[in-house]
Amino acid sequence: MQRTAPRCKGRAAVWPNAWAAAAVYFVDMIAIPSVDLRRGICIQPGVPAGSDDPIALGHPIAIARSWANAGFHRLHVLDLDADSGAGSNTSLVEDIVRDGALDVQASGGVQSTDQIERLVDAGATRVVVGPRAIEEPNWLGSVSELFPGMLVVSTDVRERRVVTRGWVRNLPLDIFDVIDEWAGLPLGGVLVASLGVNGHRTPQDLALLEDVAESCEFPVIAAGGVSTMSDLRALEHRGLAAVLLGSVLYSGELDARAVAQEYGG
């Protein structure tokens, strides 16, 4: 199947393997619950790195199944230990993938071709790659050709500048220059975190995401910054393909079934 034209942001664009046979491209944004893993358990999303007292939420597979029962079809699984270099939950991520309750986008500390291959072989629908993909464009070009349509590049953005290593390293790179460099690569999407200092999305952040979606030929996924259905609709109206949801679902601040009914995918 040939790659689609730029600005295709529907479900088929975000998950082409699952929708390729349909030949119809939807335009609806989808919401994706996040499962954050630390030391073999699912914890409350948004807990600061290194926290000694994370809120345990239950067995990760049971949590994944609960989101499937609520009506969601996609899941973002973040291995916090791998992301921080404190360990790995790869086997558990693979168990969640193989359970098959939802299509899984695997994330957290993926820095090698072997890691990508292991997750893809387990059945991950998408694999998120982070700092190395930005800092080593030749590597990104190579692995994107090996796994066409399956890699999502994650980048944190502050005032148009790319930030890596846990919002610490501010690279002299404009996000739009980076997007231009990715043009033509067979990527599965771009995951963008762009939040104000208080963790909430500002009008400037929304404008940035809209500009990114407008200029990017890949589906654009927003990370967090949602507390109301109006926030979801604001992202949808700006051309986003998907949004990751964490604590806002676990806390009940947003009704999971209501979100899934409108944005479950």
Task: Give the active site residue among 103, 156, 205, 231.
Answer: 156
Q: How far apart are CA 182 and CA 186, in angstroms?
A: 9
- One-character DSSP codes across 90-142: HHHHHHHHHH-SSEEEEESS--SHHHHHHHHHHT-SEEEE-HHHHH-HHHHHH
Q: How far apart are CA 125 and CA 121, in angstroms?
A: 10
Q: Has 36 been annotated as catalytic?
A: yes
Q: Has 255 been annotated as catalytic?
A: no
| Widest distance between CA atoms in the chain | 48
3-state secondary structure of 12: helix
Torsion of CA 8, 183, 168, 236, to 10 degrees: -10
Closest CA to 96 of 68, 116, 115: 68
Torsion of CA 168, 220, 31, 136, to 10 degrees: -40
Is residue 221 within 8 Å of 191, Cβ to Cβ?
yes
Q: Token pair of 25, please? A: 């491209």
Q: How far apart are CA 103 and CA 117, in angstroms?
A: 17
Residues marked as catalytic: 36, 156
